[in-house]
A and B are shown apart, each in its own frame.
Chain A
Amino acid sequence: MSQQLKRREFIKISGAGVGGMMAGSGLLQAVDFSNPQTDSEELIERKGTERTATYCEMCFWKCAGWVYKKDGKPWKIVGHAEDPNSNGRFCPRGTGGIGAYTDKDRLKTPLIRVQKNGKQVFRKATWDEAFEYIARKMNIIKEEHGPDCIALFTHGSGGSYFKNLLRGFGSNNVAAPSYAQCRGPREEAYMLTYGEVVGSPERTDMQNSKCIVLLGSHLGENMHNGQVQEFVEAVAGGASVITVDPRFSTAASKSKYWLPIKPATDLALLLAWIHVIIYEELYDKEYVEQYTYGFEQLKASVKHNTPEWAYPITTIKPHLIRETAREMARYAPATLVHPGRHVTWYGDDTQRVRANAILNALLGSWGRRGGFYAPAKAKVKKPQIPDYPEFKRSWRDAFPGKYPLANLAISSGICDATIPTPERDCSFKGWIVYGTNLPLTLPQPEKTYEAIQNLDLLVAVDIMPSEITGWADVVLPECTYLERYDDLRISQGRVPTVALRAPAFKPKYDSKPAYWMDRELSKKLNLQHYFPHETMESYLNERLKSIGSSLEELQQIGVKRLDNLYSLYYLNGEDYTFATASGKIELYSTLLAEAGYDPIPKYKAHEEPPEGYYRLVYGRAPMHTFGRTINNPHLHDLKSENEVWINRKVAELWGIRDGEYIILENQDGKQSNRIKVKVTERIRHDTVYMVHGFGHTDKRMRRAYNKGADDNALISKVHVDPIMGGTGMRGNFVTFKREAA
């Protein structure tokens, strides 16, 4: 069985031992009616309900809540009133989290890829077999290439144990797509400007904002719970919202100003706003004087960036640019120019977000009420583990001289560095992929597939049979967050909090928690000293003791709030030294200047769609988290496929009707799956929009399979941010094709 499989085939359908065959057409009827409920008046006594503390894993916001059981059966999940991330109210994904547990398509046992009758299939394996297999392959790679030729891709709570294992093994190549494919440019831009990152949950003080500026942020459609709550509180309180978006988003519908900007020109608008605020002397003079560095250079640099200059670029009328700039200044410093979250758009993203950071500095909103507050984070010591061995090489060695300011590993870079080239002496040989579905996550999926072909080992750890598991040598079925302990949730916010995740149910099938997997695997690799605690319970108990609490207490209360020793607003005249080279807020970035980049952002035009093509932008729907939740029975019900939004006039031009299915083809001839058309007034004529995460190709996800289209398949062109390696994904253009009859 140890034979080397020449070329990996994507294993599409149930192989030898997987799951069991599809249950015919009954898949949507798979409903449990054993507990019918009558709603007549002689109703339900609340008998036999019990609750377990958890924090949600349906997205990265990690709201704390309670899982309820009724008569021993899963019932519902509701928010924890003491939890600042949710304020006791979950979003639809959190509420629908119960579906992650009940989904019958879950991975059920460990699987190992084998050759059978000339075909690659998965065979059911025991956990021990799976660990043996992985350990043996890891050791071979270590001997032949070095331990650092194994990389980890991770997204989600359980990734930390794999990180620990891999570091103990000798590799520090740990990447999360949340960096280079999402918010990396934002964190680097704020780091360069303020010496601090924005972080997650964002330190934005929206509930106190009087004016909120959103650039492409579709709050409400991206359902980052606490943030959306604060946004709506601000709206209900009469805050003036300025939304810049080529699409009339939910947020735009709540706004005083909607600026339907021509996509890819946001930086021009930001520079024009900066121009107006500086030249109309609307900026916070004392704040700028006391805290910032490089104002005169900035003033000189934006001299020509007048609203009139920006008008033909952005299509936003000069008087509107002026009016909105004045609106921001009127409410400053309680004006928040939101830094965004998914900002890897056009390849100059660090520079664009720098302009955003600079605008906030001119308005004096950083460290002030209604702008950005100082986030508090609970300090809870981690139990000691031995030092990791020295890391000899890192992913950075694969890209000499590139991405100098990237502070985290670039997942797309690791993918690139897996494909051997003559110049490189070593490529990655092993991947461990935890909870991230790379083919639908990294742009240019062909590249991902090519990289996969060069691997000696691909381990996928997942709950669902997502696409990546079809390419894996070993698949490890993780149990859902409702069936396991995990490390404490310690996220930043106004109040330091600690939240517990305890198992509400026993793991279904033969699925296991990631901690257990890593501890067992560590034994096979002689690394068990990195996992001194036999169970999570004892780990958590020891950790909680350091703050005078215990596992037992957390099981009772779920969330523990600690005192915040620092002030939320710290730049109202107080002395402060920023962690930048100049010790000030750097309007002029010395670091960028040294590295040879524009120290002050400059607008450069981006490629425009050719005739007959439209710029593809993508986003989120409130009931889904990327592709991860599409198969969830509750959430699939709410949105089972995505639509491509096409402006009504454009649709008329093409003779495309609302509700019909078409194919999208991009500038490189890449075609999408069939997708339903939404003909709408709510989008610019030069842009089309779709929700990301649909168009699954793995049949084992019976609900999600083949529904809607995957935007990622159309992102074959990537504009890489030279500063930090972020992958700009909005430079792709599509045209419309009829479905083949």
Chain B
Amino acid sequence: MARYAMAIDTKRCVGCTDCVVACQTENNVPVGYCRDWIVEETTGTYPELHMEIRSERCNHCEDAPCVRSCPTSASHYADGGIVLVDHDECIGCKACITSCPYDARFVHPEGYVDKCTFCIHRVKEGKDPACVSVCPTHAMIFGDLEDENSEISEALKTRKHKTLIPEAGTVPHVYYLL
């Protein structure tokens, strides 16, 4: 059984937003919406500054509050721990949206709730998600944590890393290499 995860190398990411556009075209995300986005976080005061650039998206949490709060099972865990929304079961109650500490979900103009799928359709074909596959600076790694020799397992073994708000207790599966 696989456990899919993603790692974003904050050293490599320049925040170009290519991941955002690639996701929009690959997944036909309507203009005006996005499943992934860029955050630039600067700390310090001039001229002692530090900046971390992150490409963010659904964290495909181990203990996903969206799946827990969904009244219809539309939000569910798919193979490899990928959290998905079944459009035909979603009633649009938005409980999952309010339950997500990462604000990763939104209401698609067609009414159902939408978010990152880790491009499961591509993953099934053995490809990387669209965002990972286009990243000009190779700042993203996608892979299986159960496979000890995968690039992502290797990266997490050798690099310092973090997840976003681990204290929310959701056990996120998008890692940030520092």
Contact = CB atoms under 8 A, between A and B. Distances in A.
Interface of A: 28, 31, 33, 35-41, 43-44, 46, 75-79, 86, 89-92, 95-96, 98-99, 219-221, 223, 225, 228-229, 232, 235-236, 248, 250, 253-254, 258, 260, 622-623, 633-635, 637-638, 647-648, 680-685
Interface string B3-25: 00000010110111110111011
A438 to B, nearest CB: 28
Interface in B28-53: 28, 30-32, 34, 42, 44-47, 49-51, 53
B17 A623 contact: yes
16 contacts: A39-B117, A43-B120, A78-B133, A86-B136, A91-B136, A223-B16, A228-B14, A235-B11, A248-B46, A250-B14, A253-B49, A258-B47, A623-B17, A634-B24, A682-B42, A685-B46
A99 B29 CA distance: 13
Contact of B84 (A39, A634, A647, A680): A39
B10 to A, nearest CB: 10
A78 B110 contact: no
A220 B49 contact: no
A154 to B, nearest CB: 27
A39 B11 contact: no
Contacts of B44: 681
A253 B124 contact: no
B22 A232 contact: no
B14 A220 contact: yes
Contacts of A683: 46
B135 to A, nearest CB: 7
Contact of A95 (B18, B30, B138): B18
Contacts of A96: 21, 24-25
Given A33-B110, A229-B138, 20 more contacts: A31-B109, A39-B85, A39-B87, A43-B121, A76-B25, A78-B133, A92-B21, A95-B18, A99-B31, A225-B136, A228-B14, A232-B14, A232-B137, A253-B53, A258-B47, A622-B14, A623-B16, A635-B21, A681-B42, A684-B46
Nearest to A30: B31
B134 A41 contact: no
A235 B12 contact: yes
Contact of B110 (A36, A91, A248): A36
Nearest to A249: B51
A677 B96 CA distance: 34
Nearest to B22: A95
B15 A250 contact: yes
A638 B27 CA distance: 17
Closest 6 CB pairs of A and B: A220-B14, A253-B51, A622-B16, A232-B137, A76-B25, A92-B18
A39 B14 contact: no
Interface of B: 9, 11-12, 14-18, 20-22, 24-28, 30-32, 34, 42, 44-47, 49-51, 53, 78-79, 84-88, 109-110, 114, 117, 120-121, 124-125, 130, 133-139
B21 A633 contact: no
A622 B49 contact: no
Given A36-B110, A43-B121, A92-B17, A28 B31 contact: yes
A634 B121 contact: no
A340 B22 CA distance: 29
A571 B63 CA distance: 60
A113 B174 CA distance: 56
Contacts of B109: 31, 33
Contacts of B25: 75-77, 95-96, 98, 634
Contacts of A98: 25
Given A39-B27, A77-B25, A681-B49, A637 B34 contact: yes
A219 B16 CA distance: 11
A282 B14 CA distance: 33
A90 B134 contact: yes
B39 to A, nearest CB: 13
Given A95-B21, A682-B46, A36 B28 contact: yes
B31 A634 contact: yes
A248 B42 contact: yes
Contact of B31 (A31, A39, A44, A92): A31
Nearest to B16: A622
User: Which one of B42, B45, B121, B135 has the highest number of Cβ atoms from chain A below 10 Å of its Cβ?
Assistant: B121
B15 A220 contact: yes
Contact of A254 (B11, B30, B49, B135): B11
Contact of B17 (A28, A46, A232, A622): A622
Contacts of A99: 31
A665 to B, nearest CB: 25
B16 A92 contact: yes
Nearest to B15: A250
Contacts of A684: 46
Nearest to A46: B125
B18 A91 contact: yes
A33 B109 CA distance: 9
Contacts of B11: 235-236, 254
A623 to B, nearest CB: 5
User: Which one of B42, B47, B84 has the highest number of Cβ atoms from chain A below 10 Å of its Cβ?
Assistant: B47
Contacts of B14: 219-221, 223, 228, 232, 250, 254, 622
B53 A250 contact: yes
A611 B12 CA distance: 40
Contact of A40 (B34, B45, B88, B135): B88
Contacts of B86: 40
A494 B26 CA distance: 31
A680 to B, nearest CB: 8
Contacts of B133: 78, 89
B134 A78 contact: yes
Contacts of B124: 43
A76 B42 CA distance: 33
A523 B9 CA distance: 57
Nearest to A225: B136
Contact of A236 (B12, B20, B50, B114): B12
Contact of A248 (B49, B79, B87): B49
B32 A637 contact: yes
B23 to A, nearest CB: 10
A642 to B, nearest CB: 15
B9 A236 contact: yes
Contacts of B136: 86, 89-91, 223, 225, 228-229
A248 B41 CA distance: 12
A220 B18 CA distance: 12
Contacts of B84: 39-41
User: Which one of B30, B53, B133, B134 has the highest number of Cβ atoms from chain A below 10 Å of its Cβ?
Assistant: B134
User: Which one of B16, B20, B121, B135 has the highest number of Cβ atoms from chain A below 10 Å of its Cβ?
Assistant: B16
B46 A89 contact: no
A535 B85 CA distance: 50
Contacts of B9: 236
Nearest to A703: B31
A316 to B, nearest CB: 11
A638 B20 contact: yes
A225 B138 CA distance: 12
A538 B15 CA distance: 42
A153 B27 CA distance: 39
